[in-house]
Amino acid sequence: MYKKLLIVFLLAFLVRLIAIDQSLWLDEAVTANVVESYSYSEIITKFSPTDFHPPLFYLVEKFWINIFGYSEIALRFPSVIFSLITGWMIYLIGKKMKDANVGLFAAALFLFNPLIIYYSQEARMYSLITLFVTMIIYYLLKIAGPGKSFPPVSARHGSHDLRAVRSPSTLATRNIVLINIFILLSFLTFYGSIFFIFAIYIWLLIKREFKLLFMLLPGFILAVLLVFPLFINQYLNSKIALNDVKNWSLVLGKANIKNLLLIPLKFSIGRISFEPKILYYSIAGLWSLFVFYFLAKGWKNTLFLITLLTVFLAFIASFFTPLLQYFRFIYLIPLISLLLAINTKNKLTKAVLLSGFIIFSLIYLLNSNYHREDWKSLVGDLKTKTIYMIPSSSDAVKYYNKNIEVRSLNQVSEMHLENEITVIPYTSEIHGVDYVKELSRKYYELSSEKSYRELKIETWKL
């Protein structure tokens, strides 16, 4: 078994090195510039109030880059490590729930899941939150004792005897403390973890495990107390941003059927997309149905119910604040991997599931068309030291060349006439900036344009 584990984790590590030096995209460049420009205290006091996430990930990332530098690989490597540790924890969970073979298969499904591969190469908080959520699952299982279902349910419900929780031993107390710590760390890393945390609480309420619920509240309460002043500032700033940025809500994930269906689809096929769309949706849809058929076979399993409850809570919340984007829920993929491993008995089915994930992962990794926005090439090709774009979207430009002067695309109507200007229209549509109308009014004409994977440089001349 240990030889198989070694092979799986070695391959998972090597796969994560493929194209890990691709260009940073906007949000990763934000991470890079923040951890380079701000001190630890300034990340909390100066940057975080203008951001939409809690600060823990940035603090961890700053500690790392102070040792290993600011390159794309250095910035992304913590996510590689977090994802591999998560895979190991999934193996331990599967082994405890069933046996070592289930644990190994669950770990493999997670490690080669195409969406996990993508975000294990991203300098953002998603791999870290996935690790913390998995740790919560692991320690919940540990306090449940030696049984084979999850999470802890008292003996009157037929699966676990929680006498150890009702009369806590030193070991049970330690595990409860650790769960609280990881609940705390989860919320300090990613606000979206609240839906998973509440799903656990609601499940314990349904099962009338009131004492255990009470013992698992301190971590969340402490997390809320720690970030509440910051969260209020962020919330107020986000309301201002939603008003000022005309179409911002369109990219945040409104509560609709499309965004809901994208969750199982992207969980199964990752972030690849291709033309014609009818072929893409046919392949992606059929593969997702195949994957989630085996997932739904375990609909009575608590992991399945917690997964559904988490998404349901987020769906309801998105009617008030749009946040229903599939990548915000990748911390559920460990639960899904465990469910697939438990519910899949046939060797051929196992081979198809794992092979499918590997194939879609390699399609992403080996085809640069599916990689992130190519700011590295765009900035390298700039022939001018002055560009016009949305300043709040210029972090990637600053990362690759700090000498570039960024002028606001919002102010093209007020600029002095120049014979030629360079425009990067990135996010202009989201911000509702009709720069084409303004430039045409000043008698500018589009002279040339060049594309760089989801990006464009435009040259306008009088």
**10 Å Cβ neighbour count for 103?**
24
Residues 6+ apart with CB under 8 A from 385: 403, 404, 405
Separation CA 173–CA 175 (nearest Å): 5
Task: Tell me what pLDDT residue 147 has.
Answer: 44
> How high is the pLDDT of residue 396?
96
| Structure confidence at residue 238 (pLDDT) | 78
- Whether the pLDDT of residue 312 is over 70: the answer is yes
Both tokens assigned to 18: 């493929």
152-177 per-residue burial string, b: 16 or more CB within 10 A, e: under 16: bbbeeeebbbbebbeebeeebeebbe
Mode of pairing for the β-strands spanning 386-389 and 405-408: parallel
Is the pLDDT higher at 41 or at 323?
A: 41
Angle at 214 between CA 211 and CA 220, to 5 degrees: 150
The amino acid occupying position 353 is: L
Q: What are the φ and ψ backbone dihedral angles of 377, each rounded to 5 degrees?
A: -70, -40
- The pLDDT, as a whole number, for residue 429 is 86
pLDDT value of residue 158: 39
Flag whether pLDDT at 307 surpasses 80.
Answer: yes
Average pLDDT over residues 46-61: 94
Residues 36, 41, 46, 50: is their CA dihedral positive or negative?
positive
DSSP reduced 3-state for 257: helix
**Per-residue tokens: 122:** 């991203």
Tokens of 118: 């993508």
Mean model confidence pLDDT for the chain = 90
Size of the chain, expressed as the number of residues it contains: 462
Segment 44-49 mean pLDDT:
94
Model confidence, pTM? 0.92
How many of the other CB atoms lie within 10 Å of CB of 209? 22
What single DSSP character describes residue 417? P
Check whether 287 has a pLDDT greater than 50: yes
Inform me whether the pLDDT recorded for 112 exceeds 70.
yes
What burial class does residue 210 get, using C-beta atoms within 10 Å of its C-beta: 0-12 exposed, 13-18 middle, 19+ buried?
exposed
70-to-31, 234, 400, 402 alpha-carbon distances in Å: 10, 27, 11, 14
Q: How confident is residue 145, by pLDDT bands cut at 50, 70 and 90?
A: low
Tokens found for residue 132: 């913390």
Cβ burial, residue 372 (10 Å; 0-12/13-18/19+) = buried
Residue 91 predicted with pLDDT over 50: yes
- Taking the C-alpha atoms of residue 151 and residue 157, their distance in angstroms, rounded to an integer, is 12
pLDDT, one tens digit per residue, over 116-143 is 999 999 999 999 999 999 999 999 998 8
- In this structure, the strands spanning 405-408 and 456-461 are unpaired
Q: What is the per-residue pLDDT for 240?
A: 76
Distance between CA atoms of residues 148 and 134, nearest Å: 17
Average pLDDT over residues 349-371: 96
Given a contact cutoff of 8 angstroms between Cβ atoms, the answer to whether 422 and 403 are in contact is no
How far, in Å, CA of 296 to CA of 294, rounded?
Answer: 5
Q: What is the pLDDT of residues 383-394, one digit of tens each?
A: 899 999 999 999
Average pLDDT (220-247) is 85
pLDDT in tens, 215-232: 999 999 999 999 999 999
Q: Specify the pLDDT at position 21.
A: 96
Whether residue 146 has pLDDT greater than 50: no
Contact status, residue 56 vs residue 187, Cβ threshold 8 Å: no
Beta bridge partners of 451: 456
Buried b (16+ CB within 10 A) or exposed e, 11-26: ebbebbeeebebbbbb
- Provide the pLDDT for residue 246: 65
Backbone angles phi, psi at 440, to 5 degrees: -65, -35
Work out the average pLDDT over 354-368. Answer: 96
- Residues 6+ away with beta carbon under 8 Å from 168: 176
Mean pLDDT throughout 193-218?
A: 94
pLDDT for 285 equals 95
- Residue 325: its pLDDT value, please? 93
Q: What is the pLDDT of residue 130?
A: 98
Task: Tell me the pLDDT band of 110, cut-offs 50, 70 and 90.
Answer: very high
Query: What one-character DSSP code corresponds to residue 458?
Result: E
Model confidence pLDDT, tens digit, residues 160-197: 444 445 555 677 889 999 999 999 999 999 999 999 99
Reported confidence tier of residue 102, pLDDT bands at 50, 70, 90? very high
Of the given ranges (103-112, 160-169, 225-234, 274-283), which has the lowest mean pLDDT?
Answer: 160-169
Cis upstream peptide for 151 (omega within 30°): yes
Under the banding of pLDDT at 50, 70 and 90, the label for residue 275 is confident
Q: What would the pLDDT profile of 440-458 be if each residue is shown by its tens digit?
A: 988 899 999 999 998 999 9
Distance CA(338)–CA(145), nearest Å, equals 18
- Please give the backbone phi and psi of residue 447, each rounded to the nearest 5 degrees, phi first: -90, -45
So what's the pLDDT on residue 263? 95
